[in-house]
Chain A
Amino acid sequence: MQSNSLDLIVRSLPLFLKGASVTLQVFFSASCFSILLGLFFGMFTSKRLSIPIFSKVLEVVTFITRAIPFFVQLLIVYFVLPDLFKFDIDPFSASVLSLGICSSGFVAQFFRGAIDTISTSQWEAAHALGYTKAQTLVYTILPQAFRIALPPMNNELDSLLKSTAIISSIGMMELTRVAMNIVSREMEPIPIYLAIAAIYVCMSATLNITTRTLERKFSYVKN
């Protein structure tokens, strides 16, 4: 029985790899989208960079993205929006878009908090040196804010990685969907689901090591 299970896992490896590759593609694309969108939202909802009405609108948008469950956002992006506005969207784009938007609400909070944490005197020091607002932001504030936002971002990216399993519901052949297909064909759920759990653990561990390395790289205070 055990040898059969092992044999099944080995036979399924190429499919697992294919599924994992799709999972990673969605994860990386959605992470980039989420960080860029979250940074934009975070900057313009921070105290120092807020623009009266615009920032209020962004605050509402980020609240909505955080309030709606990811699965519902996925269904809206894949089924509701194309129907309302008469356009086609493929499952990959819908997955990246909905994952990115959902996660950006949280990333925005981390960046907003981090930017607000930077002392006003840092803005003033850059201003006194003659930096423009954009130069101050890029060279003085964001490098410091990024360091502060990294640890909570690590958690958010980890959660985003695991949320990719939900995109199987719109037919994406990612890791979980591949496993479900194998199980329905082979009727052997235990080894297959345990195997993909192990693959998720490996991916999560790699992500953790990468973000920890980044945290160390950005940390100028050596403990």
Chain B
Amino acid sequence: MLKIKNVSLTKRSRNLEVNILKNISCEIPLDRITLFLGKSGSGKTSLLRCISRLETDYTGEIFYHDQLVENLSPLQRSQTIGFVSQSYDLFPHLNVFKNCSQPLKLLTSKTKSEIKQKVEETLNIFQIEHLANSYVHELSGGQKQRVAIARAVVLDPKILLFDEPSSALDPQNSEILIQLLKNLRKAGKGVIISSQDMAFAEKIFERAIFIENGEIIEEHDTLADMKQVSKSKLHQFLYKARGKVNIEK
């Protein structure tokens, strides 16, 4: 269970103060995929960044099984929470194999052969073993994403956070991603996703939290509930956006 308690985040730019997250509290069971849904700028990515400690100046508390996330050492944190950003942020000076093996080399006491075995296993799971010697600039968007997920998974974190994972994918890669995320959940990983793509959200839905202007406005545990019960402006906006995309297609 991931427990978020009264988390607020304020950013200052010049003389302006912007409240990005406003006193957010929620409990996220890790046996189900949880979606943070909202428009861009709503605060869903910032919430993921707070959970992964990329934002450190928030107020409030985030607990993983009653353990305060901010008290985790870098190693404990990387083995508890993995983060896959929207732009993947692979290391361009390393090939795919080294992108995945370097964290193991630097953070664990595994031997060279253990690291090799672990990375090869992980690359196999994500069907990118043939890309082991490729550099980032040689990969497609979908391949980059799978490498980024593999790099996060290789450290065996309990929770994986995904920021807008479907935003740059074609329908085929989107389907592959959905399957991968479901498999990760089946393998016992907590999966938390931020998205504004309702078509993607419906396909992967297990639990959804709607965020608007830095506040949680709705939580849904069933797809039917999400599709029918809500009449909020945000909900309508996201569905409308989806409709627009479908019409354009």
Contact = CB atoms under 8 A, between A and B. Distances in A.
A147 interface: yes
Interface centre among A119, A125, A139, A147 (most CB of B within 10 A): A125
Contacts of A200: none
B139 interface: no
B77 A130 contact: yes
A140 B91 contact: yes
Interface string A198-223: 00000000000000000000101100
B87 interface: yes
A100 to B, nearest CB: 28
Contact of A220 (B93, B102, B107, B155): B93
B89 interface: yes
A220 B92 contact: yes
A135 interface: yes
A129 interface: yes
A155 interface: no
B107 A130 contact: yes
Contacts of B107: 129-131
Contacts of A154: none
B144 interface: no
Given A124-B89, A130-B75, A131-B74, A139 B106 contact: yes
Given A125-B85, A139-B106, A130 B91 contact: no
B54 A124 contact: yes
A221 B52 CA distance: 31
Interface residues on A, range: 20 to 34
Nearest to B52: A128
Given A124-B54, A139-B102, A139-B106, A130 B89 contact: no
Interface in B70-105: 74-75, 77-79, 82-83, 85, 87, 89-93, 102-103
A220 B134 CA distance: 10
Nearest to B84: A128
A56 interface: no
Interface residues on B, range: 20 to 34
A130 B103 contact: yes
B91 A122 contact: yes
Given A130-B77, A220-B137, A221-B137, A143 B106 contact: no
A3 B103 CA distance: 67
A143 B93 contact: yes
A127 interface: yes
A132 interface: yes
Interface centre among A119, A128, A139, A147 (most CB of B within 10 A): A128
A121 interface: yes
Contacts of B54: 124, 127-128
A189 B169 CA distance: 71
A144 interface: yes
Given A128-B52, A130-B155, A135 B89 contact: no
B89 A132 contact: no
Given A130-B75, A140-B91, 8 more contacts: A119-B89, A124-B89, A128-B152, A130-B74, A130-B155, A131-B74, A131-B103, A143-B93
Interface of A: 119, 121-122, 124-132, 135, 139-140, 143-144, 147, 218, 220-221
Interface of B: 52-54, 74-75, 77-79, 82-83, 85, 87, 89-93, 102-103, 106-107, 135, 137, 151-152, 155
